[in-house]
């Protein structure tokens, strides 16, 4: 990976081999299709296929001619194009691995800072929405001072198409912070290892994207592993468990609907925008939607909670800084996640999300010294191993039926 930035080289070591191969394959497919979106309309795929066959046929004939001339079947032009393609493939792989590595690091940081804030201020709904507000202020300020190019004007139906993604994002954030506040960080993320299951479910039910039965069968170890981990969990909490399961469903919906939103941007004239700007809009709308709920349920509790935190030895300035850092790290890690989503399939993202939890669980056990049972460790290992098996099965068997999805896309099979 010569010439890649040091961060990308480090990231390539952090990302598991199975995921590395999957994201590289996804990135290469996106590049060959002329864009980073994998969920192309079937009409576009059918139009691209004949052209691909013509190119392959031409390459085959030129190769045969080279062999007749006693050459190696690849002329200078062919060799240079292959070299360029290989270099482009390495850049794609480095870029996607960089997204995943940075996403992992920011997520570990966020979870540790966020848990410390919740231990001092046990106000999960207020903290969750406040973090959305900090993220909104962060990106809004950058647009205002032109530190980044602001998105275009929303189309007439743009807000309506953006609203579901914003609801899933805000709801998933609330559910996650509630789970983290009610239980251990390690327990929450073991339960959230089931996100690929929900991602595949949403893809099948809503987007009519059906995988082969082997892919679904590979999810069984994930479910079994999470069940074992929860059976003898020392810090088991029903509130934490149910909130984590709800966040799985909501974030699976967010990933799939965000992918559809990237395919057809909600701006006037179909103008496109960056994944980072799209996430900024989602964050702002989420904050606007959920701010009234947080004000109604948590505003009166802030005074007593703050006084209790001061009595327990917390410093006011340090606590405010921790809240700000939790909001900024939450925004940044999700922005990087959107950059990754723009390059891979939502299910690949769900697998990467699950592998990320390994780092979070290990970091939380070290920082917070949370006890975990032997059965919990075995169950967690089975769940993570199941995710790797699922990743390989998803990659090998692919999609059995790409059915009709919202916004008029036609179906195809492969």
Q: Which residue has the higher pLDDT, 316 or 370?
A: 316
Mean pLDDT of 380-401: 75
Cβ–Cβ < 8 Å for 386, 358: no
Q: Which of 257, 288, 252, 111 is nearest to 172 (CA)?
A: 252
pLDDT at 343 over 50: yes
Percent of the chain with pLDDT over 90: 29
Looking at residue 307, what is its pLDDT? 93
Percent of the chain with pLDDT over 70: 72
Q: Which of 351, 342, 255 is nearest to 15 (CA)?
A: 351
Cβ–Cβ < 8 Å for 46, 54: no
The C-alpha atoms of residue 377 and residue 338 are separated, in whole angstroms, by: 31
Which segments of 15-75 does DSSP mark as H helices, in order?
17-32, 42-68
The mean pLDDT value of the chain amounts to 76
Looking at residue 306, what is its pLDDT? 94
The full DSSP string for 273-341 is --HHHHHHHHHHHHHHHHHHHHHHHHGGGHHHHHHHHHHTT--HHHHHHHHHHHHHHHHHHHHHHHHHH
pLDDT digits (tens, 9 = 90+) for 6-49: 334 334 434 444 444 444 445 444 444 433 333 333 333 333 34
Backbone angles phi, psi at 413, to 5 degrees: -130, 150
| Token pair listed for 384 | 């993570």
pLDDT at 235 over 60: yes
Backbone angles phi, psi at 405, to 5 degrees: -110, 170
Backbone angles phi, psi at 400, to 5 degrees: -75, -45
Q: Which of 98-102, 177-181, 257-261, 345-349 shows the lowest mean pLDDT across its residues? A: 345-349
Q: How confident is the model at residue 55 (pLDDT cuts 50, 70, 90)?
A: very low
Looking at residue 83, what is its pLDDT? 61
Is the torsion defined by CA of 103, 260, 276, 339 positive or negative?
A: positive
Question: What are 401's strand-pairing partners?
Answer: 210, 413
pLDDT digits (tens, 9 = 90+) for 57-91: 444 444 333 333 344 445 555 656 656 566 677 88
Looking at residue 81, what is its pLDDT? 61
206-211-213 Cα angle (round to 5): 125
pLDDT at 414 over 70: no
pLDDT digits (tens, 9 = 90+) for 196-222: 889 888 888 888 888 888 888 988 988
Q: Which of 89, 44, 15 is nearest to 402 (CA)?
A: 44
Q: Which of 132, 259, 242 is nearest to 183 (CA)?
A: 242
Looking at residue 78, what is its pLDDT? 60
Exposure class string for 380-395: b at 16+ Cβ within 10 A, else e: bebbbebbbbbbbbbb
What 8-state DSSP symbol labels residue 403?
-
């Amino acid at each position: 990976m010569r010439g890649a930035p040091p961060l990308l080289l480090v990231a390539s070591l952090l990302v598991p081999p199975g995921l590395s191969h999957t994201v590289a394959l996804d990135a290469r497919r996106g590049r060959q299709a002329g864009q980073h979106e994998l969920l192309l309309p079937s009409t576009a795929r059918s139009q691209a296929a004949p052209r691909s066959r013509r190119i392959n046929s031409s390459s085959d004939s030129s190769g045969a001619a080279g062999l007749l001339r006693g050459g190696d079947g690849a002329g200078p032009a062919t060799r240079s194009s292959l070299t360029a393609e290989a270099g482009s493939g390495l850049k794609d792989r480095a870029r996607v691995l960089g997204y995943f590595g940075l996403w992992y690091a920011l997520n570990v940081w966020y979870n540790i800072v966020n848990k410390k804030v919740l231990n001092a201020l046990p106000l999960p709904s207020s903290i969750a929405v406040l973090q959305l507000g900090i993220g909104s202020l962060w990106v809004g300020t950058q647009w205002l001072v032109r530190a980044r190019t602001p998105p275009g004007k929303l189309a007439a139906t743009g807000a309506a198409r953006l609203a579901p993604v914003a609801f899933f994002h805000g709801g998933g954030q609330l559910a996650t912070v509630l789970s983290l506040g009610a239980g251990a960080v390690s327990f929450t993320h073991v339960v959230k290892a089931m996100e690929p299951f929900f991602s595949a479910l949403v893809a099948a039910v809503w987007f009519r994207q059906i995988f082969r039965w082997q892919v679904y069968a590979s999810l069984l170890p994930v479910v079994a592993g999470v069940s074992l981990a929860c059976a003898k969990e020392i810090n088991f909490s029903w509130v934490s468990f149910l909130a984590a399961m709800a966040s799985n469903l909501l974030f699976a919906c967010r990933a799939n609907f965000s992918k559809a939103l990237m395919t057809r941007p909600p701006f006037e004239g179909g103008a496109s925008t960056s994944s980072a700007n799209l996430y900024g809009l989602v964050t702002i709308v989420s904050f606007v939607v959920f701010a009234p709920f947080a004000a109604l349920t948590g505003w009166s509790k802030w005074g007593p909670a703050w006084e209790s935190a001061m009595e327990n030895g917390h410093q006011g300035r340090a606590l405010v800084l921790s809240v700000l850092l939790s909001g900024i790290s939450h925004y940044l890690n999700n922005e990087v996640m959107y950059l990754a989503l723009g390059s891979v399939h939502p299910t690949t993202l769900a697998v990467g999300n699950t592998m990320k939890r390994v780092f979070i669980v290990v970091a939380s056990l070290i920082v917070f010294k949370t006890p975990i049972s032997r059965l919990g460790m075995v169950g967690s290992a089975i769940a993570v191993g199941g995710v790797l098996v699922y990743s390989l099965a998803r990659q090998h068997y692919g999609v059995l039926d790409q059915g009709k999805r919202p916004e008029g896309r036609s179906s195809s099979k492969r």
